[in-house]
């Protein structure tokens, strides 16, 4: 099928040979594209919008042919959420709670511990188990653990939600914590909670299962005295660095330690410090022995934790007899669980657990919701050892039968073998009151499954009915030759074929023209279908108005024909007029046309024709201009200035009084023939013959403006000659070094001087300055806002200093509202020294001055979105030199730059002031000047220089706020310079910035500050950059959670 543009051209090609009054019914059908052939399936990759008879590619392909029932719904099979027979129940990961899930599964599979938890007194659950109308919500930790264990044992769900317990503990579900620390704290909390139970078997279950006894033995080398300190342990924390086997780690844990030098032991027998030896002896081992492999250690170089990916071998059967104090005691353990941490970083990764079922000896992998049974009753670590490769990666050692090796295992759980056959039941029975609560939850789950199944069935039934409807109606859609037809919106047909949306009534109103028929421009948005199919649609879905074969609008087609013919003629006239305008008109006959109108007359004529076409269009429709481009009436030479966007033809030479403008540069004289051709397109345009005079009112105003400009130039010249030094900034008095020839100076606002200089430079365009507004320098009480010292330093940017002779001239030329005078008084010599005082008139208002300083100080401390500059230092020297002055810097500014000297050493890191920037002019100081020194210390003092910050090579700008912490700034610097926060040494104005938790405002970092960065040498192992990103905020562990009693 021809492209959309070609279809549009073909639909209106007949207008070139047919006049509007000669339009026929065949022309109308051609314009509406009724005679185009429909597309066949497979011929179009997508629907042809330009062809109303193309009914392919509108979404019908998903309904034609055989359809799988699963396509009728997006509801998963609820049975996939059901627990399979003879499998365990998983736990939902709430974000970063996989470490909690692994330990819950370990403790659940400890049958003795599970039995004791079930025996805890829970009167609330016993009462609510009888009442089916009230939901059970556990309160205490034991209650949560009871209910969770019961669900893990007898729930019908494939996995359950542990959010109740996690919320009760106050854990942050989005932050991963230390799993080993969680285990210790939770068992300690549980032990404390169970100690309040009355049943002794429940009270002591933690000690019975996990508690062992050891002794710290210290022997004095001098007298041989042996001291013993008994201690309990719940797990053995083993160092794995430098070891390959679990037995080596245990041996190191128990090895003898020498106490010598500063670490000598105080012997009570010798009554003095003596060299000694110390060792740990295992006296009793618990029923369940936990080995904590210390994979997460503190790195002194980085100041953060890191993970040791060392392979450690461990046996399935462990004989701990040789490690006991009584060597002949038999103590054999069997591997019961391996807890795995996947990932290279100590601050991220994933926790899973491998557990052995005590009843069947099968091994299972517990990975949150997913539980996988290992084949052959064997432990298979497999993919859990596949971590990201690193430079220090070593090959996995070979293991003999009965041994395993892992570089991700962080906890090993061994269960003691007993010779006596236990008379206890192989499985733990859930108490009746808990089983009733579990049954209630199972009923809710079954109801949910039934509801989901019903929804699936309804969706399938609805889809099948839709399938039959589409197959029935789609075959009836094409309208044959000579058959009655109607137009239906294309978008409605697509939604009818889209089962995911509700089919609404048909709305044809936005496709109607002003005559109530189908607008020709809307033919691309509708499809022509048979009247039989349309009757079915309207009967089932309703809507309207109906657009049949009588809805082809003759009036719109005729009007479009007229407009298009005019536009074709417009192109011809454009070429003729363009050639005629090039001929110079030396006669005094013709008409004045604005140059802007002459440049854009074709575009204005085109817009005018389109506006006429728009009047016939329905209010909801599109502009006709969107489809006019098919005739290619535009041209490369057709330009339009932004200033002419709202221009009506020839109104650009109209003055404000409605006459001809006075400027001949804005108009052009054209011949009568050119004007007559343009007049056919713009009959209402203003007409100005060549003989017409310009507007007399505008001439008068121009003459008055010329006279005023001449007067301003004369005034400016007189003022410039009288105040030439002030204009040229020559021979200016300085408050830093009072001139000897006078004891009085005068102050005016610097704003007045700048505005006056603008007038002197451009008197023809600027308004003369008539008055000196010194009141802006005074407070509401009439007192001066600045001290003498401040005006000689930072406040010099607000004031200008005048000689007495200049002040007299100022009073003669301008109206002065307030005189501000500075006076110097000198006392008689006292001990070969002059006592000089400075006075201001009016006097300083101390109250308002202090308020101004306070406001300026606060502005420096409370900024937001300000810029600071980070400059990196290498080997105590700046790695960049000051940038050269920019080309547009004034001569005085460039000279000021040359007067600034920079020391060889960086002042911020050598902590000396000799290398700081020195200024050519010295600044006197006095006691009264200290009031203003604090709030202007960040500004450059003395010489007037550019306030624009001159960046140097390698310096980077950062956007910061006053309430931002130094730690957050270091994170920004890390991203900008690739320097880790702990390698950054920052300073500003000679002060080192060290307190990470302090805000930038409290540290004295103000906008436009230059912060020097000195980076320490990078550490050898930088593969843990992920750790740096993870610890950008202080690590708080379990602070504030229920594990610590909060």
Q: Which residues contact 253 (CB under 8 A, 6 or more apart)?
A: 236, 237, 238, 239, 280
Q: Do 706 and 668 meet the contact criterion of CB atoms below 8 Å apart?
A: no
d(CA 171, CA 1038) in angstroms, rounded, equals 7
3-class SS at 14?
Answer: helix
Q: Do 763 and 710 meet the contact criterion of CB atoms below 8 Å apart?
A: no
Reported as half-sphere exposure (CB side, CA atoms, 13 A), residue 931 has a value of 19
Q: Do 57 and 527 meet the contact criterion of CB atoms below 8 Å apart?
A: no
Largest CA distance in the chain: 135
Q: Which residues contact 425 (CB under 8 A, 6 or more apart)?
A: none
The pair phi, psi for residue 472, each rounded to 5°, is -70, -45
Q: b vs e for 345-379, b when ≥16 Cβ sit within 10 Å of the residue's Cβ?
A: bbbebbbbbbbbeeeeebbbbbbbeebeebeeeeb
d(CA 548, CA 534) in angstroms, rounded, equals 10
> Looking up tokens 């562990």, which residue turns up?
1037
d(CA 523, CA 490) in angstroms, rounded, equals 10
Q: Do 951 and 957 meet the contact criterion of CB atoms below 8 Å apart?
A: yes
d(CA 292, CA 393) in angstroms, rounded, equals 22
**How many Cβ atoms sit within 10 Å of the Cβ of residue 35?**
11
Reported as half-sphere exposure (CB side, CA atoms, 13 A), residue 652 has a value of 25
Q: Which one of the listed residues 98, 211, 249, 267 is annotated catalytic?
A: 98
**How many Cβ atoms sit within 10 Å of the Cβ of residue 523?**
25
Q: Which residues contact 593 (CB under 8 A, 6 or more apart)?
A: 650, 653, 667, 668, 669, 670, 674, 675, 678
Q: Do 647 and 604 meet the contact criterion of CB atoms below 8 Å apart?
A: yes
DSSP code, position 694: P
The pair phi, psi for residue 144, each rounded to 5°, is -60, -45
The pair phi, psi for residue 669, each rounded to 5°, is -90, 120
Q: Which residues contact 218 (CB under 8 A, 6 or more apart)?
A: 226, 227, 228, 229, 259, 265, 276, 277, 278
Does 545 sit behind a cis peptide bond, omega within 30 degrees of 0 on the bond before it?
Answer: yes
Q: How is residue 439 written in tokens? A: 């049954």
List, as own/partner pairs, every contact residues 267-271 make where C-beta atoms lie below 8 angstroms and the sequence separation is at least 24, other chains included: 267/220, 267/222, 267/223, 267/225, 268/225, 268/227, 269/220, 269/223, 269/225, 270/220, 270/222, 270/223, 270/225
Does 842 sit behind a cis peptide bond, omega within 30 degrees of 0 on the bond before it?
Answer: yes
CA dihedral for 720, 722, 727, 731, sign (positive or negative): positive
Q: Which one of the listed residues 144, 243, 304, 350 is annotated catalytic?
A: 350
Helix (H) or strand (E) holding 812: helix 804-813
Q: Which residues contact 114 (CB under 8 A, 6 or more apart)?
A: 107, 108, 149, 153, 428
- Our answer to whether residue 98 is catalytic in this structure is yes
- Our answer to whether residue 350 is catalytic in this structure is yes
d(CA 789, CA 933) in angstroms, rounded, equals 9
Q: From 1013, 1017, 1016, select the one nearest 956 (Cα to Cα).
A: 1013
d(CA 112, CA 208) in angstroms, rounded, equals 9
The catalytic site residues sit at: 98, 350
């Amino acid at each position: 099928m021809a492209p959309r543009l070609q279809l549009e051209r073909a639909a209106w090609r007949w207008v070139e040979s047919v006049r509007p009054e000669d339009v026929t019914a065949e022309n109308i059908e051609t314009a509406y594209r009724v005679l185009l052939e429909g597309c066949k399936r497979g011929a179009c990759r997508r629907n042809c919008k330009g062809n109303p008879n193309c009914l392919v590619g509108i979404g019908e392909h998903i309904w034609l042919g055989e359809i799988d029932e699963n396509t009728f719904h997006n509801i998963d099979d609820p049975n996939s959420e059901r627990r399979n027979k003879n499998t365990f129940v998983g736990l939902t990961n709430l974000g970063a709670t996989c470490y909690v899930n692994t330990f819950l599964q370990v403790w659940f599979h400890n049958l003795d511990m599970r039995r004791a938890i079930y025996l805890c007194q829970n009167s609330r659950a016993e009462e609510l188990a009888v009442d089916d109308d009230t939901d059970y919500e556990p309160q205490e930790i034991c209650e949560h653990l009871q209910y969770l264990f019961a669900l893990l044992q007898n729930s019908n769900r494939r996995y359950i939600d542990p959010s109740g317990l996690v919320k009760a503990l106050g854990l942050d579900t989005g932050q991963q914590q230390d799993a080993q620390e969680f285990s210790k704290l939770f068992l300690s909390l549980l032990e404390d909670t169970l100690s309040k139970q009355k049943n002794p078997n429940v009270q002591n279950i933690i000690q019975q299962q996990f508690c062992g006894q050891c002794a710290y033995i210290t022997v004095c080398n001098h007298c041989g005295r042996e001291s013993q300190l008994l201690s309990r342990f719940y797990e053995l924390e083993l160092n794995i660095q430098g070891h390959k086997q679990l037995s080596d780690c245990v041996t190191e844990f128990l090895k003898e330690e020498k106490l010598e030098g500063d670490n000598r032991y105080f012997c009570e027998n010798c009554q003095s410090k003596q060299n000694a030896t110390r060792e740990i002896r295992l006296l009793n081992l618990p029923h369940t022995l936990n080995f904590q492999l210390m994979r997460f250690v503190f790195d002194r170089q980085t100041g953060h934790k890191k993970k040791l990916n060392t392979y450690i071998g461990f046996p399935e059967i462990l004989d701990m007899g040789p490690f006991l104090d009584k060597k002949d005691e038999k103590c054999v353990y069997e591997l019961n669980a391996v807890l795995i941490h996947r990932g290279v970083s100590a601050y991220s990764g994933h926790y899973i657990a491998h557990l052995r079922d005590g009843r069947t000896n099968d091994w299972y992998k517990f990975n949150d919701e997913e539980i996988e049974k290992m084949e052959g009753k064997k432990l298979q670590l497999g993919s859990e050892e596949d971590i990201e490769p690193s430079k220090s990666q070593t090959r996995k050692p070979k293991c003999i039968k009965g041994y395993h090796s892992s570089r991700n295992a962080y906890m090993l759980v061994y269960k003691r073998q007993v010779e006596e056959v236990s008379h206890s039941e192989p499985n733990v029975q859930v108490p009746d009151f808990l089983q009733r609560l579990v049954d209630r939850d199972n009923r809710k789950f079954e109801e949910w499954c039934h509801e989901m199944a019903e929804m699936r069935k309804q969706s399938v039934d609805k889809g099948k009915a839709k399938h039959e409807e589409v197959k029935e109606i789609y075959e009836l859609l094409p309208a044959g030759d000579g058959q009655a037809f109607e137009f239906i919106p294309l978008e409605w047909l697509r939604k009818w074929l889209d089962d995911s949306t509700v089919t609404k009534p048909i709305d044809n109103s936005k496709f109607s023209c002003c005559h109530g028929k189908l607008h020709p421009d809307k033919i691309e948005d509708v499809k022509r279908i048979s009247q039989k199919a349309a009757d079915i649609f309207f009967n089932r879905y309703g809507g309207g108005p109906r657009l049949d074969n009588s809805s082809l609008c003759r009036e719109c087609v005729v009007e479009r024909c007229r407009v298009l013919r005019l536009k074709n003629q417009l192109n011809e006239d454009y070429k003729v007029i363009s050639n005629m305008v090039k001929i110079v008109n030396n006669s005094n006959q013709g008409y004045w046309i604005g140059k802007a109108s002459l440049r854009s007359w074709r575009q204005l004529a085109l817009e005018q024709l389109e506006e006429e076409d728009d009047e016939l269009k329905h209010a909801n429709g599109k502009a006709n201009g969107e489809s006019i481009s098919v005739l290619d009436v535009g041209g490369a030479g057709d330009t339009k200035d932004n200033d002419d966007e709202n221009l009506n033809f020839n109104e650009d030479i109209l003055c404000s009084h409605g006459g001809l403008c006075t400027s001949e540069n804005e108009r052009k004289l054209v011949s009568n023939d050119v004007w007559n051709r343009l007049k056919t397109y713009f009959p209402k345009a203003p007409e100005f013959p060549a003989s017409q005079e310009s507007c007399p009112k505008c001439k008068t105003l121009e003459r008055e403006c010329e006279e005023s400009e001449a007067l301003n130039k004369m005034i400016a010249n007189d003022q410039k000659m009288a105040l030439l030094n002030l204009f040229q900034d020559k021979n200016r008095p300085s408050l830093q070094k009072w001139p000897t020839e006078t004891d009085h100076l005068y102050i005016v606002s610097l704003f007045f001087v700048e505005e006056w200089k603008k007038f002197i430079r451009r008197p023809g365009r600027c308004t003369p300055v008539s008055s000196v507004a010194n009141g802006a320098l005074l407070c509401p009480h009439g007192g001066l806002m600045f001290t003498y010292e401040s005006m000689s330093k930072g406040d010099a940017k607000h004031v200008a200093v005048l000689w007495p002779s200049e002040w007299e001239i100022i009073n003669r030329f301008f109206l002065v509202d307030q005189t501000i005078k500075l006076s110097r008084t000198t006392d008689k010599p006292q001990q070969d020294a002059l006592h000089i005082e400075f006075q201001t008139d009016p006097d300083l208002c101390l109250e308002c001055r202090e308020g101004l300083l306070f406001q300026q100080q606060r502005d420096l401390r409370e900024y937001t979105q300000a810029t600071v500059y980070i400059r990196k230092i290498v080997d105590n020297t700046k790695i960049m030199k000051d940038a050269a002055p920019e080309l547009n810097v004034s001569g005085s500014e460039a000279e000021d730059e040359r007067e600034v000297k920079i020391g060889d050493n960086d002042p911020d890191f050598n902590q000396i002031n000799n290398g700081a920037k020195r200024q050519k002019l010295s600044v006197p100081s006095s006691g009264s000047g200290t009031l203003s020194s604090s709030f202007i210390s960040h500004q450059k003092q003395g010489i007037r220089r550019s306030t624009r910050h001159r960046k140097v090579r390698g310096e980077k700008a950062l956007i910061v706020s006053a309430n931002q912490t130094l730690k957050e700034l270091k994170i920004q610097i890390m991203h900008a310079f690739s320097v880790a926060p702990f390698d950054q040494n920052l300073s500003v104005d000679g002060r080192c910035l060290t307190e990470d938790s302090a805000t930038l405002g409290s540290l004295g970092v103000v906008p436009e500050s230059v912060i020097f960065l000195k980076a320490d040498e990078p550490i050898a192992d930088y593969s843990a950059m992920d750790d740096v990103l993870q610890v950008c905020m202080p690590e708080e562990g379990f602070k504030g959670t229920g594990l610590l009693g909060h």
